[in-house]
């Protein structure tokens, strides 16, 4: 009987977290909420509630598609291949998004549910008698890191946002919510990361990476400082992660392919610092079909998908021939129905792939080539998505050190940058890409780091953050994009196929770098203002 009581109580806690986490979706007259005070009795209840927060990362609305698709389509190394895809994706791809965008309204409430669920778990600590303070601090730190992850993403995407460090127990409170200034949000994110560094473990049981650790807290803190332009602190924490990587179990995978294939498909590998752990057989993860090759008339193929998000024109050409990363980053050939012989399935080069855009394009391979045990389009693989991996820490450290002092830090910074180039040669010293040389100017070196980030993280939703924090919009989406398009033989160039940044200098620091606050949210929260440049 006691066993059933415990089981039922755990279920109630999870349902409570889900219900409270979904407060942004409630109708105007919601049913009454059962108070959390009745359900938190011990630390294991708080941990159970925390586990409920993770569920909101999954699925179509979260990292499974909508959120990550938006990040990809904002950058200059991702583009839409099949232009027959949904109009909201095409608008996102061309900086024409408006406040009614279904993509934004999909992931905005979904990821705020993570925040509220984490805060609900934290609030549970106030309602119990704590017998293990270290464990209680660890659980609070985990909740803080979960809400910081979402707030950090959202403050960069939207600017001023509602900052929530409390659990919403009354849905009517949402009506009075307003946007917290960016200048007030970042100190709170830093505070939560510092708390995580003090209270999270070096490693998790069984070395799982989907729950934050001391190393992931330091990594996020380094990234926050990098974003703020506080390069001294960014370098400090990034270098600490590198120097302490053995304590945390981090190491670069010797073979870049093994970041995506084999064990990495369903588990964590040593390079991963923090991951989203998708569930198998549930279709939570849709990036395999989103990046797979659109099928022709004869039906599915081995790498079939929807040809939605693919490499932008010119991205493949950025790699040195022979760079080992090409093998995993791209689908350059596949068994597919060709345009010339649509009734026959052959091993065809990407120039013969079948899709509505008449400009031949390779596809991204990281998710579709290594989909593992999944359905015919690569879904339901149980894959783990990395939020941060060690290669990014090396590049953060290199960039920050160069900004702190150049050329005084050249040797250390160049060593970190070339560590990534060395791995890309896959054990062959004579292969490409070659190491960057000494004697570069500070500007040339930082540009090299930014380019290396483009090569290393293609299709991993990181490039937009670089464009935004460095204000590279005009450079990334300038006239060169159109000129490159014109060099393709026999190509027409409808405007919808050319990805450019809106050239209105008065908006470069405002609209073009921030998404609109979703209109659905503003219709519920009457104090919620809109970003400049979008209809009010």
Rounded-to-integer distance, Cα 250 and Cα 194, Å: 20
In this structure, is the dihedral angle defined by the CA atoms of residues 97, 103, 108 and 111, taken in order, positive or negative? negative
pLDDT, residue 300, reads 63
pLDDT, residue 14, reads 40
pLDDT, residue 473, reads 83
Residues 226 and 202 sit within 8 Å (Cβ to Cβ): no
pLDDT, residue 510, reads 54
Nearest C-alpha neighbor of 423 from the set 444, 397, 394, 450: 394
Q: Which structure tokens are listed for 420? A: 């990534």
Q: Which structure tokens are listed for 119? A: 């805060």
pLDDT, residue 361, reads 83
Domain limits of the chain? 2-200+516-524, 287-382
Q: How many CB atoms lie within 10 A of CB 136?
A: 16
Residues 336 and 354 sit within 8 Å (Cβ to Cβ): yes
pLDDT, residue 501, reads 61
DSSP 8-state secondary structure symbol assigned to residue 161:
B
pLDDT, residue 335, reads 84
List, as own/partner pairs, every contact residues 501-509 make where C-beta atoms lie below 8 angstroms and the sequence separation is at least 24, other chains included.
501/95, 501/473, 501/474, 501/476, 501/477, 502/95, 503/474, 507/532, 507/533, 508/471, 508/473, 508/474, 509/471
Nearest C-alpha neighbor of 314 from the set 183, 471, 485: 485
Residues 422 and 253 sit within 8 Å (Cβ to Cβ): no
Residues 534 and 99 sit within 8 Å (Cβ to Cβ): yes
Burial class of residue 199 in the structure, from the number of CB atoms within 10 Å of its CB (0-12 exposed, 13-18 middle, 19+ buried):
buried
Q: Which residues pair with residue 304 across a beta bridge?
A: 293
Rounded-to-integer distance, Cα 13 and Cα 99, Å: 34
Fold of 2-200+516-524: 1.25.40
pLDDT, residue 299, reads 59
DSSP 8-state secondary structure symbol assigned to residue 383:
P
What DSSP string describes 403-439?
HHSTTTTHHHHHHHHHHHHHHHTTT-TTSSSPPPPS-
Rounded-to-integer distance, Cα 471 and Cα 508, Å: 8
Phi, psi of 311 (to 5 degrees): -65, 140
Phi, psi of 365 (to 5 degrees): -110, -15
Q: Which structure tokens are listed for 401? A: 């050190």
Rounded-to-integer distance, Cα 278 and Cα 65, Å: 12
Residues 124 and 45 sit within 8 Å (Cβ to Cβ): yes
pTM over 0.85: yes
pLDDT, residue 277, reads 86
Residue with tokens 């995978």: 253
DSSP 8-state secondary structure symbol assigned to residue 355:
-
Nearest C-alpha neighbor of 20 from the set 161, 104, 147, 119: 119
What DSSP string describes 289-308?
HHHSEEPBTTB--TTEE---
Q: Which residues pair with residue 337 across a beta bridge?
A: 345
Q: Which structure tokens are listed for 131? A: 């017998």
Q: Determine the 3-state secondary structure of 277 from DSSP.
A: strand
Give me the tens of pLDDT residue by residue for the chain, a chain 536 residues long.
333 434 334 433 443 444 343 333 323 332 223 344 447 899 999 999 999 899 899 888 999 999 999 999 999 999 998 888 999 999 899 888 999 999 999 999 999 999 999 999 999 999 999 999 999 999 999 999 999 999 999 999 999 999 999 998 777 777 888 999 999 999 999 999 999 999 999 999 999 999 999 999 999 999 999 999 999 999 999 999 999 999 999 999 999 999 998 777 778 899 999 999 887 656 578 898 899 888 765 556 778 888 899 998 888 989 999 999 999 999 999 887 766 666 777 888 888 776 655 567 899 999 998 876 666 677 777 778 899 999 999 999 999 999 999 999 999 999 999 999 999 999 999 999 999 999 999 999 999 999 999 999 999 999 999 999 998 887 887 654 434 444 433 333 434 445 666 555 555 445 679 999 999 999 988 899 999 888 87
Phi, psi of 29 (to 5 degrees): -120, 75
pLDDT, residue 34, reads 36
């Amino acid at each position: 009987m006691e066993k059933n009581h415990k089981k039922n109580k755990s279920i109630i806690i999870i349902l409570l977290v889900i219900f409270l986490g979904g407060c942004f979706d409630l109708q105007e007259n919601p049913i009454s909420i059962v108070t959390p005070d009745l359900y938190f009795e011990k630390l294991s209840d708080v941990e159970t509630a925390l586990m409920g927060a993770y569920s909101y990362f999954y699925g179509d609305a979260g990292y499974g598609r909508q959120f990550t698709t938006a990040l990809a389509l904002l950058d200059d190394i991702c583009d839409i291949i099949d232009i027959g895809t949904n109009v909201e994706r095409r608008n996102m791809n061309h900086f024409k998004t408006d406040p009614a965008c279904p993509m934004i309204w999909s992931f905005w409430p979904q990821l705020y549910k993570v925040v509220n669920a984490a805060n609900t778990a934290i609030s549970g600590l106030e309602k119990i008698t704590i017998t293990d303070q270290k464990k209680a601090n660890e659980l609070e730190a985990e909740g803080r890191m979960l809400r910081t992850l979402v707030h950090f993403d959202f403050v960069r995407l939207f600017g001023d946002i509602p900052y929530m460090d409390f659990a919403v127990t009354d849905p009517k409170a949402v009506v009075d919510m307003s946007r917290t200034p960016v200048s007030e949000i970042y100190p709170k994110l830093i505070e939560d990361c510092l708390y995580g560094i003090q209270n999270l473990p070096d490693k998790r049981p069984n070395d799982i990476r989907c729950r934050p650790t001391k190393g992931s807290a330091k990594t996020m803190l380094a990234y926050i400082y990098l974003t703020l332009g506080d390069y001294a602190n960014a370098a400090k924490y990034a270098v600490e992660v590198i120097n302490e990587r053995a304590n945390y179990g981090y190491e670069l995978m010797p073979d870049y392919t093994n970041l995506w294939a084999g064990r990495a498909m369903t588990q964590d590998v040593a390079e991963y610092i923090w991951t989203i752990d998708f569930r198998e057989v549930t279709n939570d993860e849709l990036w395999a079909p989103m990046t797979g090759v659109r099928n022709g008339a004869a039906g599915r193929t081995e790498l079939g998908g929807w040809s939605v998000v693919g490499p932008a024109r010119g991205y493949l050409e950025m790699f040195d021939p022979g760079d080992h990363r090409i093998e995993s980053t791209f689908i350059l050939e596949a068994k597919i129905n060709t345009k010339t012989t649509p009734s026959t399935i052959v091993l065809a080069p990407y120039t013969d792939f079948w899709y509505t855009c008449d400009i031949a394009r390779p596809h991204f391979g990281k998710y579709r080539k290594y989909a593992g045990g999944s359905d015919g389009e690569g879904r339901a693989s149980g894959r783990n998505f990395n939020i941060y991996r060690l290669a990014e820490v090396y590049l953060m450290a290199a960039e920050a050190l160069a900004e702190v002092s150049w050329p005084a830090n050249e040797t250390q910074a160049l060593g970190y940058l070339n560590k990534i180039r060395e791995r890309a040669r896959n054990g062959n010293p004579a292969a490409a890409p070659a190491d960057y040389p000494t004697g570069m100017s500070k500007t040339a070196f930082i540009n090299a780091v930014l380019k290396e980030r483009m090569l290393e993280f293609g299709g991993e939703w990181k490039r937009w953050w670089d464009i935004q924090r460095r204000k590279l919009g005009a450079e990334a989406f300038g006239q060169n994009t159109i000129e490159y398009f014109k060099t393709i033989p026999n190509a027409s160039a409808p405007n919808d196929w050319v990805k450019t940044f809106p050239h209105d200098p008065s908006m470069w620091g405002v609209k073009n770098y921030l998404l609109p606050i979703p209109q659905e949210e503003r219709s519920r929260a009457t104090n919620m203002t809109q970003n400049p440049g979008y209809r009010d």
